[in-house]
Every structure is written in C-alpha cells, then in structure tokens.
C-alpha cells in the first residue's frame, strides 16, 4: 500500500520550504478520526506558521483546514460519526496531505448539497466571517461596515454576511477585476485603495459620520486609516495581519478618536466548545447549501504545488479561496 503524501515544513522560510514527502499520519487514537482528504484550504495562518511568525517546532505537516471522508474511527470518537461520512474542519494540523488524523471534536458533517471543495473553502474563512459579524458586536440594521481586502476569500464572505445581517458595506480592494467581485457580493460602495483614500471614501459614504465597524485582516498597512474611518464608539476588529503586524500604539488615540474600541480576535476563541463549533459551522454550511452564501474558489492547485499556492496568496494576486487538491 502506497504511503500517503503530505507537505512538510522542515525549516522556517519562504514558499520553497514546502516539500511533498511520504508521510503517513498513522491510525486514529482515542477520540480521533482518520480522514482521506479531498481538498485542503490555503490560509494566511499557514503562511504565519511557515515563516515562523507563529512559532511551531519543525518539522511539521502544513495546513489546518479541509474536507474529506472518514476512513477509520479511534476508540471513543463519538459525535455520531461513521466510516464514509463526509466531514470538514478548520483546525486539524497536518491538513496539507492525502490523509490526516484529526480530533473528532473539531470535525463537522458536510450537508449533502455542499461539495467537498466548497466545504473546505468555507470552513475557516466562513466561520471567521460569522463570528466577526455576529459575535464581536451585534450588527445594527442600517449601520455601516468597512471590509478590507473585500475580494479575498474572507472578504467576500464578510460582505455577504454583513449585508444579510442588514448592514451597509464599504469594501476595499486593489483592482478593477476585484472591484467587480466586491460589487457582485453586494457591497454598497467599493473603494480602489490603489486609487482612492479609503478613509475619505468611508466618511463620504456615511455622510461624514464614519463607519460603525471595520473588519481588518490586512494589519499594518491599513490600521491607521481604519481607526480614522470609525465613528465615535466605533469598533475595529483586527483579525489578521497580511501586510505585517501592527506596531504598538498609544491607547490615548482611542480616546481622541471618540472612545474607539479595538479588538484582536481569533477564530479558536469563538469555536471553543463543541456546541459553538457545530452552531457556527452549521450556520455557514447551511447558508451555503441554501444559496444565501456564495463561496468563490479562486484557484485549485495540486498538493505538490503548495509553494505556488503560497506565492499566489502572498502576492495578493488572488480572489476568493485557494485550495490544494491531493
């Protein structure tokens, strides 16, 4: 029997350190599942681990997200799973692989109407968008949200979810092609930040008041402008740092801006229990199955081309979600 392959990171570095190697994850232990991977999601957190921004001992198999079919169940792997079930996950280390062993508690069933690749594309970014819109601060219908990198995988889902929740949306992006995608997702105003100051555009869209919330996964390059886009008592949710981490800043700026609020959330804290994971994933996959949420898959790469997928992601040459197909 051929040993399954996986993308192994043996040293910290650029995309070139992503190497395809034989790597069998073994049989599932207590409370675990062995899953044949149909598609793996490519995310900026994978870049952070690869570059050492998020430290992790090497060697390790890259990836956290995917979808596939259960091959074997370990002792006590409850939650009603059976061999052959289609499942998806957002936090199983080693997902850039043909097979992965994952905790049953971190895996959810995929609805029949949702294909494997769409499920893999929806999990991490979909649940991220869901907690940002619904758990960070309750959306007030008629309010305004600013979504950065709105043509990316998370951005397109954020625009749709915010609109479904009754918010008006200003979306930023960097090209005409991306602007068309953001408009199609439902944004009320689209800002080309390569052409226009997004802070001024957000102020104009809101009649000078400022937006109620900013969803910022870009970080260093947008942080100052994001703060300046908020109304008094507005909220900046800094959920990523695609352009680099935000330097330390004087908290007095929040007072001067109008008692502003800044939060730096992570998905793990919003799916911390099995019940919350099932509810959040169920809401996302249910909306996908019902057609209320469209998941754009920007590109599919063979597993062996993981380095090319990372180059595309870091080069901001992509729209929607990138997948690896074993």
Counting residues of the chain whose pLDDT is more than 70, the rounded percentage is: 100
CATH number of the domain bearing residue 141: 3.40.50.720
Mean of pLDDT values over 298-326: 93
* Residue-wise pLDDT tens digits, 166-186: 999 999 999 999 999 999 999
Mean of pLDDT values over 296-322: 93
DSSP β-bridge partners for residue 187 = none
* Residues 228 and 279 reside in one and the same domain: no
In a domain, 144, yes or no: yes
Mean of pLDDT values over 201-207: 96
In a domain, 130, yes or no: no
The pLDDT of residue 1 is 65
Residue 231, H or E segment: strand 230-238
Please state the separation of Cα 86 from the chain's center in Å: 21
In a domain, 151, yes or no: yes
Gyration radius from the chain CA atoms: 20
In a domain, 57, yes or no: yes
* Residues 201 and 291 reside in one and the same domain: no
Residue at which a domain ends, from 214, 247, 264: 264
Mean of pLDDT values over 105-129: 97
* Residues 108 and 172 reside in one and the same domain: no
The pLDDT of residue 59 is 97
Pairing of strands 5-9, 18-22: antiparallel
* Residues 30 and 76 reside in one and the same domain: yes
* Residues 226 and 283 reside in one and the same domain: no
Query: Do 238 and 262 meet the contact criterion of CB atoms below 8 Å apart?
Result: yes
In eight-state DSSP terms, residue 270 is G
In a domain, 131, yes or no: no
Mean of pLDDT values over 260-284: 97
Give the integer Cα–Cα distance in Å for 223 and 242: 12
CATH number of the domain bearing residue 298: 3.90.180.10
Q: How many domains does the chain have?
A: 2
* Residues 215 and 289 reside in one and the same domain: no
The domain in which residue 112 lies consists of 5-125+272-325
With vertex at residue 185, the alpha carbon angle to CA 181 and CA 190, rounded to the nearest 5 degrees, is 65
Give the integer Cα–Cα distance in Å for 296 and 154: 10
DSSP β-bridge partners for residue 238 = 216
DSSP β-bridge partners for residue 48 = none
In a domain, 196, yes or no: yes
Mean of pLDDT values over 258-284: 97
CB atoms near residue 117 (< 10 Å): 20
The pLDDT of residue 158 is 98
Mean of pLDDT values over 84-102: 98
The pLDDT of residue 147 is 98
Counting residues of the chain whose pLDDT is more than 90, the rounded percentage is: 92
Residue at which a domain ends, from 234, 264, 294: 264
In a domain, 19, yes or no: yes
* Residues 54 and 171 reside in one and the same domain: no
Mean of pLDDT values over 203-225: 97
Its pTM stands at 0.93
CB atoms near residue 299 (< 10 Å): 16
* Residues 230 and 146 reside in one and the same domain: yes
Question: What integer best gives the mean pLDDT of the chain?
Answer: 96
In a domain, 109, yes or no: yes
Q: How confident is the model at residue 194 (pLDDT cuts 50, 70, 90)?
A: confident
Give the integer Cα–Cα distance in Å for 48 and 306: 15
* Residue-wise pLDDT tens digits, 132-144: 999 999 999 999 9
């Amino acid at each position: 029997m051929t040993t399954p392959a996986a993308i192994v990171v043996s040293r910290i570095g650029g995309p070139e350190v992503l190497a395809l190697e034989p790597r069998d994850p073994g049989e599932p232990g207590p409370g675990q599942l062995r899953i044949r991977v149909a598609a793996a999601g490519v995310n900026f957190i994978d870049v952070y681990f690869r570059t050492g921004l998020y430290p992790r001992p090497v060697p390790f198999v890259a990836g956290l997200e995917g979808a596939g079919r259960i091959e074997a169940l370990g002792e006590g792997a409850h939650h009603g799973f059976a061999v052959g079930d289609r499942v998806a996950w957002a936090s199983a280390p080693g997902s850039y692989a043909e097979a992965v062993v994952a905790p049953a508690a971190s895996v959810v069933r995929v609805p029949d109407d949702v294909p494997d690749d769409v499920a893999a594309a929806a999990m991490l970014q979909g649940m991220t968008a869901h907690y940002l819109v619904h758990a960070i601060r309750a959306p007030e219908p008629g309010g305004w949200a600013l979504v950065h990198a709105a043509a990316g995988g998370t951005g397109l889902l954020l625009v749709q979810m915010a609109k479904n929740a009754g918010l008006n949306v200003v979306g930023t992006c960097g090209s005409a092609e991306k602007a068309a995608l953001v408009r199609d997702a439902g944004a009320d105003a689209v800002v080309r930040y390569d052409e226009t100051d997004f802070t001024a555009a957000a102020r104009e869209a809101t009649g000078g008041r400022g937006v109620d919330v900013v969803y910022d996964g870009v970080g260093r390059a947008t942080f100052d402008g994001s703060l300046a886009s908020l109304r008094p008592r507005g909220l900046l949710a800094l959920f990523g740092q695609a352009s680099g981490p935000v330097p330390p800043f004087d908290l007095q700026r929040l007072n001067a801006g109008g008692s502003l609020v800044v939060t730096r959330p992570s998905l793990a804290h919003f799916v911390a229990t099995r019940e919350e994971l099932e509810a959040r994933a169920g809401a996302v996959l249910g909306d996908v199955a019902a057609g209320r949420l469209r998941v754009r898959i920007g590109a599919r790469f063979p597993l062996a081309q993981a380095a090319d997928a990372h180059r595309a992601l870091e080069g901001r040459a992509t729209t929607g979600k990138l997948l690896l197909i074993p």
